[in-house]
Structure formats: structure tokens, C-alpha cells
Amino acid sequence: GNSVTQMEGPVTLSEEAFLTINCTYTATGYPSLFWYVQYPGEGLQLLLKATKADDKGSNKGFEATYRKETTSFHLEKGSVQVSDSAVYFCARGLNYGGSQGNLIFGKGTKLSVKP
Amino acid sequence: NAGVTQTPKFQVLKTGQSMTLQCAQDMNHEYMSWYRQDPGMGLRLIHYSVGAGITDQGEVPNGYNVSRSTTEDFPLRLLSAAPSQTSVYFCASSYSGGLVADTQYFGPGTRLTVL
């Protein structure tokens, strides 16, 4: 089937710690992959994306590499800040009713960074 | 650009009432969609549209109607509200007409409570 599985939170880290949020997907073919971030009280916004195997998406110090061998798209950041506290969603393109534009989301991982 | 706007921000309904959630975008995007966000469930696609005059069902369409008479607007109608429709609703848009999973831009959300 089509699904996205990401590690459950909440994740609590100290400032400057290393962050990894795991994400794996099931799919036929090679869908586009995304990480979205939702800050408290706001809508989702794109953090980074990758459209083909071995692509690395990066933004604001976050990185994720499209791994077709392991069907994974893990999110990493070398040194988190308090301002990174948010909910992070992994998503993939979904061929639903013939439209590739739709997205299927993971359940989200809440990150809290303590000073 | 205002981006994607949604009204109202909050709404309380009684079971059986109907209402329309408004969504508008000023980016001339062809693709628009509605998601609902429930705790522990991530975001699930309700309906989507790949252009004016074209709509289709997503993963959880029951109890909701949509129409797309203009490129800018994509209202979501609740026909007869039920407590199970208590959720946060997000509208999103993207440039592509649904042929590829493009970056989606999200509105700030509408928090709906059905009593």
C-alpha cells in the first residue's frame, strides 16, 4: 500500500544536540518526498524535499537524503536550537485517483528543544 | 501576496448544522486541496482540485462537499456536522495541476468543534 511511517514523539533534546527523525515509506515507483514543519498555532510549511533517488534536500541546517534501497528519508540536523521546536511531518507524493499532486503524511513527530 | 487564506479560524457547531469553510489563494495555483488534522493521525486528504471546474475525492471525503468555480477559491462544505468532524482543517495549494507532487502551501487552518 501507500504509507509513510515516522518515529513517534515527543522528542526532547537539549540545545546544540544532534537530531534524527526517522521516516520510511512504502510505494510503487519513486515518489517525491517531503518534510514539512508546523510551528505552534500555524499551518504546515515546506522544510525540504527530494524528487528522485539519492537526492539530498536541505534547508535551515536540516538535511534528508532519498534512499531508495531502504525506502527512507530521515531528517537530520547537527545542532538544534530552541526555535526548532515544532511538529515535523514526513510526506510522499500519492497517486490517488490519477493525481500525483496529492500527499500522504506521516503522523508527525513533536520536537521540543530545551535551552 | 497573502498566500493561502482560510476563514474562519475557529468555529463551534451543533450536530446537524451545516457550514462552509472558506479557502482562497492569490498565487494563481492550479492545484488546491483540503486536509483534516487529528491527534495521532497526521493529515488526511478530504478533497482536491486540479483546476477550476474539476474536483475529486481524497481519502476521507464522506460528509464533505467541494466546488471550484474559480482558480482562487476552494470552499469546503459540511453538509450535516457530526462530532466525528471535530478537527483542524487545512487548505493547501500548489502550482502544478496534479501531475507531480509539487510543493504545497498551507493556510493557517480552521479549528472546528462539533458538539
Give the residue on A whose Cα is nearest the Cα of B96.
A101
Q: Is the peptide bond before A115 cis (omega within 30 degrees of 0)?
A: no
Tell me the longest C-alpha to C-alpha distance in chain A. Answer: 47
Percentage of the residues of chain B whose pLDDT score is greater than 70 = 96
pLDDT exceeds cutoff 90 at A24: yes
**pLDDT, tens digit, for every residue of B67-80?**
999 999 999 999 99
**pLDDT, tens digit, for every residue of A7-20?**
888 999 999 999 99
pLDDT exceeds cutoff 90 at A85: yes
User: How confident is residue B41, by pLDDT bands cut at 50, 70 and 90?
Assistant: confident
Mean pLDDT of A29-43: 89
Check if the beta carbon of residue B80 is closer than 8 Å to that of residue B105: no
| Mean pLDDT (chain A, rounded) | 90
Mean pLDDT of A37-43: 91
Check if the beta carbon of residue B107 is closer than 8 Å to that of residue B23: yes
User: How confident is residue A82, by pLDDT bands cut at 50, 70 and 90?
Assistant: very high
* B81 vs B103, residue with greater confidence: B81
CB pairs under 8 A between A and B: 81
Burial of B28 (0-12, 13-18, 19+ CB in 10 A): exposed
Cα A81 to Cα A111: distance, rounded to the nearest angstrom: 11
Touching check for B86 and chain A: CB below 8 Å?
A: no
Percentage of the residues of chain B whose pLDDT score is greater than 90 = 80
Residues of A with a Cβ under 8 Å from any B Cβ are 4, 31-32, 34, 36, 42-46, 49, 51, 89, 92-94, 96-97, 99-108
Cα B91 to Cα B108: distance, rounded to the nearest angstrom: 8
Check if the beta carbon of residue A35 is closer than 8 Å to that of residue A64: yes
| Mean pLDDT (chain B, rounded) | 92
pLDDT of residue B11: 96
Please give, rounded to a whole number of angstroms, the shortest distance from the CA of A79 to a CA of chain B.
26
pLDDT exceeds cutoff 80 at A94: no
Mean pLDDT of B61-65: 96
Touching check for B93 and chain A: CB below 8 Å?
A: no
pLDDT exceeds cutoff 60 at A96: no
